[in-house]
């Protein structure tokens, strides 16, 4: 693994490794692993918001597929299908729900 650090950071890391009585690379590995262990678990509410966003994303994708099918129908037959108004309203509703989840998620982030 290769990492880039400034000359100042390199000196700080070397000095800390020397002070700990460890090889440079061993010190880095130990420090990174300690940082990983110290990470807080994902907030359950954030996990739920993420699930909602994934669901909204799937719904928007499905709407996009349907809109493509309706556009193909309109181009082929020269008419607009009745389902277009309903699908457009559904699309707007899904996007509004996704935006609401994004706002709630944003409020929970540091």
| Full-model pTM | 0.45
pLDDT at 41: 59
Q: What residue segments make up the domains of the chain, in order of their start?
A: 7-39, 44-108
- Angle at the Cα of 83 (from 58 to 67), degrees rounded to 5? 45
Q: How far apart are CA 4 and CA 7, in angstroms?
A: 10
**Is 23's pLDDT higher than 80?**
yes
pLDDT tens, 63-94? Answer: 888 888 888 888 898 888 887 778 878 888 88
Three-state SS letters, 16-72 = HHHHHCCCHHHHHHHHHHHHHHHCCCCCHHHHHHHHHHHHHHHHHHHHHHHHHHHHH
Mean pLDDT, the chain, rounded, equals 83
Answer yes or no: are the C-beta atoms of 101 and 53 closer than 8 Å.
yes
* Greatest mean pLDDT among 16-25, 35-44, 78-87: 16-25
- pLDDT band for position 40 (cuts 50, 70, 90): low
Answer yes or no: are the C-beta atoms of 70 and 83 closer than 8 Å.
yes
- pLDDT band for position 55 (cuts 50, 70, 90): confident
């Amino acid at each position: 693994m290769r990492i880039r650090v400034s000359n100042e950071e390199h000196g700080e890391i070397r000095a800390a490794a020397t002070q700990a009585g460890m090889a440079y690379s061993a010190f880095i590995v130990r420090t990174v692993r300690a940082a990983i262990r110290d990470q807080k678990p994902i907030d359950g509410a954030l996990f739920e918001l993420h699930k909602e966003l994934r669901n909204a994303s799937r719904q928007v994708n499905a709407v996009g597929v349907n809109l493509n099918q309706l556009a193909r129908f309109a181009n082929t037959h020269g008419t607009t299908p009745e389902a277009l108004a309903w699908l457009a309203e559904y699309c707007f509703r899904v996007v509004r729900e996704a935006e609401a989840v994004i706002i709630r998620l944003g409020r929970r982030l540091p």
